[in-house]
Amino acid sequence: MILITGASGNLGSAVVAQLLKTLSPEDFVTTSSNAAGVEKLKAKGLQSRLANFSDPITLNEAFKGIDKLLLISTMDQNRYEQHKNVVDAAKKQGVKQIIYTGLAIKDIHTSAVQDLMISHFQTEDYIKESGLTYTILRNTMYADALSQILGSNALHQDINLPGGIGKVPYALRREIGEATANLLLQDGHENNTYNITGSNSLGYTELAAALSHLTRDTIKYNDISEDDLKAFLKQIGFADFAIYLHSGTIHDIKMAQYEIESHTMETLLGRPTASIEDIIKELFKN
């Protein structure tokens, strides 16, 4: 039996949608961190159990009879402790394999957002030390995030970011969900770590060119300073933490931290990932 944590979230929903193309709802279990979420999943015809990552009692109950467990990482600032609770409960309940969604980055120790993202790698280590059979999926940056990074007016303005010539192998969240579901249905991935990335790396210059092609207008990429970005974000009302996260991520892009290309996702999908043209159309074309 397969279990999907965070099944009502964006990635979890994409995994569930793909599983339903092969399995019946009786063949896998979804979880939510609260009772209302459980009821919403059940209303869709899915099996669902309560699994609050901060409450080991609910985790032990939810994981009974589970063979494969997909642990979709949380966004909580205390997520390492939450993830440890999941791993402990999985081991206690005899789960045979845990699949974890981590982060594809070259060197977490030199990342500008190390303190936020290092918990991914702490979780990886904890899973390996637990003795459980594992598969680690280090996911690239979601292409979907470009709509926030570039802004709602992306079709009508230049890209003004301090990203240098750094590139990212962006992938759509729905395709990552599809690839993850396909992996869950396969054998042969035991005790492996994979980078889950798009087929091609793209910089802001390429993104500007793709936007220009879509709009038939000229959209340029201006490589501004980090100080200018922070000042702009503060001016439009970003909180200090959001400024830190946003600017730190762009800094890591500039430093080529995300330039990791892998063909694993292509293999799992059975095709290349969406092109930049298709990504831009999906995200920005009304």
**What was the pLDDT predicted at 173?**
96
**What was the pLDDT predicted at 153?**
82
Q: What is the pLDDT of residues 80-135, one digit of tens each?
A: 999 999 999 999 999 999 999 999 999 999 999 999 999 999 999 999 999 999 99
**What was the pLDDT predicted at 170?**
96
Alpha-carbon distance 286 to 270, whole Å?
29
Domain ranges within the chain, ordered by starting residue: 2-139, 141-170+198-260+274-286
CATH topology of domain 141-170+198-260+274-286: UDP-galactose 4-epimerase; domain 1 (3.90.25)
**What was the pLDDT predicted at 183?**
98
Alpha-carbon distance 217 to 204, whole Å?
16
Q: What is the pLDDT of residues 9-37, one digit of tens each?
A: 999 999 999 999 999 999 999 999 999 99
According to CATH, what is the number of the domain 2-139?
Answer: 3.40.50.720
| Strand partners of residue 29 | 3
Alpha-carbon distance 279 to 198, whole Å?
11
Task: Name the amino acid, one letter, at 150.
Answer: L
Instruction: With residue 30 as reference, give the H or E element that holds it.
Output: strand 28-32
Q: Which residues of the chain have pLDDT under 50?
A: none
